[in-house]
């Protein structure tokens, strides 16, 4: 199985839009032969800065998994009630409208490539419960509408983010996995659709403050018959450049000598192997890597190297 790379999470950081630097980075990503495509961030239009630049610089053979997290987090900063699980009517309506914008971007990308290149849409169950109220009922109503649209071949999954846990500081604070499963089962039954779930290793570890969390979430999603995708991101319980229990997509701990990895990461070789086994990885629709890097001023080539080594680590476990 060729993997999905969330290349945007490792892209060069700059105070302003620098297309030449970003092109250099993507040119390096194109050389990574072990990927089938990329996870693409949606903020309100196909590309945050320049749709035409994006279309010129992607590999036309790539497949795509869309994620709305960057756009959602930006909107939550302005409206804490924003999201498809919101019990606030205006907030929920804005959340649904956001996915209508994403749908238009999917059609634009597919039309440019002349094929149905977008495989999956990852939905997210905002708002953050520390500042708003959300529910299964609100999510069900939103999903019923969203699944009825023409997604031009793309399938829908809810990517589970860290849920609100009493007494813990959340990064996302969205619905629990159990609530998301309940909503998806209800909508699939009522509408005859096949919405699924995807799990991010680091976000599940963050929610549970434990390396057992990802295994528990993978098992629950599998037992519900809904697990479609799995992305590896690391996290740390130590004081590292990536923070303590922060959703910064930390690279794995050292998997092989001489590689680009991150000291203090809880995502070890043992954890990757165990998670792949619980996920029954060969039956997944997509499997991938999503890492950020530190320090922030690393150059484009170094950033590609981190992705190359994380992908090599994953390949070593899935091809063993």
Q: What is the mean pLDDT of residues 148-160?
A: 98
Q: How big is the chain, counted in residues? A: 320
Give the Cα separation of 315 and 264 in Å (integer). Answer: 22
| The pLDDT value given to residue 251 | 98
Which among 213, 61, 224 has a CA at the least distance from the CA of 157?
224
Q: What is the pLDDT of residues 162-211, one digit of tens each?
A: 999 988 889 999 999 999 999 999 999 999 999 999 999 999 999 999 99
Could you tell me if 199 and 218 are in contact, meaning their C-beta atoms sit under 8 angstroms apart? yes
pLDDT at 122 over 80: yes
pLDDT mean across residues, the chain: 97
Could you tell me if 161 and 129 are in contact, meaning their C-beta atoms sit under 8 angstroms apart? no
| The pLDDT value given to residue 181 | 98
pLDDT at 14 over 90: no
Q: What is the pLDDT of residues 71-89, one digit of tens each?
A: 999 999 999 999 999 999 9
| The pLDDT value given to residue 170 | 92
| The pLDDT value given to residue 1 | 67
Domain total for the chain? 1
| Residue 21 binned pLDDT confidence (cut-offs 50, 70, 90) | very high
Range of the structural domain that residue 79 is part of: 3-318
Could you tell me if 232 and 314 are in contact, meaning their C-beta atoms sit under 8 angstroms apart? yes
Q: Peptide bond before 295: cis, by omega within 30 degrees of 0? A: yes
Q: What is the mean pLDDT of residues 253-262?
A: 97
Q: What is the pLDDT of residues 26-72, one digit of tens each?
A: 999 999 999 999 999 999 999 999 999 999 999 999 999 999 999 99
Residue 4 main-chain phi, psi, to 5 deg: -100, 130
Q: Which CATH number goes with the domain that contains 166?
A: 3.20.20.150
Give the Cα separation of 310 and 294 in Å (integer). Answer: 15
| The pLDDT value given to residue 6 | 98
| The pLDDT value given to residue 300 | 97
| Residue 255 binned pLDDT confidence (cut-offs 50, 70, 90) | very high
pLDDT at 320 over 80: no
Can you give the pTM of this predicted structure? 0.96
In the chain, % of residues over pLDDT 90: 97
Pairing of strands 118-123, 155-160: parallel
| The pLDDT value given to residue 169 | 87
């Amino acid at each position: 199985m060729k993997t999905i790379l969330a290349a945007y999470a490792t892209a060069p950081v700059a105070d302003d839009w620098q297309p030449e630097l970003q092109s250099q980075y993507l040119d390096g990503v194109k050389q990574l032969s072990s990927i089938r495509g990329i996870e693409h961030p949606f903020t309100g239009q196909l590309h945050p800065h320049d749709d035409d630049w994006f279309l010129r610089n992607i590999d036309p053979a790539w497949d795509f998994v869309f994620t709305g997290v960057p756009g959602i987090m930006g909107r939550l900063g302005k409206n804490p009630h924003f999201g498809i699980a919101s019990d606030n009517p205006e907030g929920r309506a804005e959340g649904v409208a956001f996915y209508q914008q994403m749908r238009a971007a999917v059609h634009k990308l597919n039309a440019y490539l002349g094929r149905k290149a977008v495989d999956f849409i990852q939905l997210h169950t905002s708002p953050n419960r520390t500042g708003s109220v959300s529910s299964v009922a609100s999510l069900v109503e939103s999903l019923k509408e969203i699944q009825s649209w023409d997604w031009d071949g793309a399938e829908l999954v809810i990517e589970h983010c860290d849920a609100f846990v009493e007494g813990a500081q959340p990064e996302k604070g969205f619905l629990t996995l159990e609530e998301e499963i309940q909503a998806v089962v209800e909508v699939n039954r009522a509408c005859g659709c096949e919405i699924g779930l995807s799990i991010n290793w680091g976000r599940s570890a963050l929610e549970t403050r434990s390396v057992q969390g990802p295994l528990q979430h993978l098992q629950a999603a599998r037992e519900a018959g809904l697990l479609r995708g799995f992305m590896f991101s690391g996290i740390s319980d130590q004081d590292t450049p990536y923070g303590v229990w922060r959703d910064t997509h930390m690279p794995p701990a050292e998997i092989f000598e001489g590689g680009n990895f991150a000291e203090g990461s809880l995502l070890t070789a043992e954890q990757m192997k165990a998670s792949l086994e619980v996920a029954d990885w060969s039956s997944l629709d997509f499997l991938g890597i999503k890492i950020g890097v530190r320090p922030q001023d690393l150059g484009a080539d170094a950033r590609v190297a981190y992705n190359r080594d994380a992908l090599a680590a994953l390949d070593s476990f899935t091809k063993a």
